[in-house]
Amino acid sequence: MAEGDVSKYRMVVIGGSAGSLDSILKIVAAVQEAVDVAFVVVVHRGKSGDSILTDLLSSQTKLVVKEVEDKELILPGTIYIAPPDYHLLLENEYTFSLDASEKVHYSRPSIDVTFESAALVYGPALVGVLLSGANADGAVGLKNIADAGGFTIAQQPATAEVGYMPQQAINLTKVSVILEGEDIGIFLKTLLK
């Protein structure tokens, strides 16, 4: 831990489904000083290629918000959104890739797929956040992040709009910390300093 005051974390992956939007908006608002970190948001949503989610997130932060294109470079200080109807993978620390293969947990994008891929690439330099949702997606992925030495955050199921998803992760692995949805942003802000 002799890294001075530079955070060891270089990427934060955030997964959410039903009832997660509020927390996501609070998180992106809170972390806008974290210009050395890349953020990835994976949420379950419809297929349509509209830009509502990108616009909403952009309105809350100074950081660049964009939907990932195939083979896009991973840059710090940017919030990347997994595009609808594709799984989002990481080739290495510098490049995303997309994959249109079978749905996982009835979902494409699947949170598990991105979490596992990011854990393989970033190991202990990764933070995983799993939010409200009615689906088991993300639990295995969060465990992958923990097993690879990364930091894991689950939203408090009792007060989440839909507690099922974070609860699945808590049952499966020892998460680093369980937080109220509205506190995750502030916590990340400190963690990433």
Q: Which is nearer to another protein, 139 or 188 (CB)?
A: 139
Q: Which is nearer to another protein, 51 or 159 (CB)?
A: 51
Strand stretches in 55-159, DSSP E: 64-67, 78-81, 87-90, 96-99, 126-130, 151-155
Instruction: Mark whether 23 is an active-site residue.
Output: no
List of residues contacting another protein (CB under 8 A):
49, 68-71, 83, 85-86, 89-91, 97-102, 113, 116-117, 119-120, 144, 147-148
- State the catalytic residue, choosing from 20, 23, 44, 110: 44
Give least dist CB 71 to another protein, A.
6
The string of DSSP codes covering 17-85 is: -TT-HHHHHHHHHHTTT-TT-EEEEEE---S----HHHHHHHTT-SSEEEEPPTT-B--TTEEEEPPTT
Give least dist CB 72 to another protein, A.
9
Residue written as token pair 């639990």: 139
Give least dist CB 102 to another protein, A.
6
- State the catalytic residue, choosing from 23, 87, 107, 137: 137
Cβ(99)–Cβ(71) under 8 Å? no
Q: Which is nearer to another protein, 70 or 180 (CB)?
A: 70
Give least dist CB 52 to another protein, A.
16
* Main-chain phi, psi angles of 70, to 5 degrees: -60, 135
Q: Which is nearer to another protein, 23 or 144 (CB)?
A: 144
Please, what's the b/e burial string for 120-139 (b: 16 or more CB within 10 A of its CB; e: otherwise)? ebbeebbbbbbbbbebbbbb
Q: Which amino acid is at 124?
A: P
Instruction: Mark whether 137 is an active-site residue.
Output: yes
Catalytic residues: 17, 44, 137
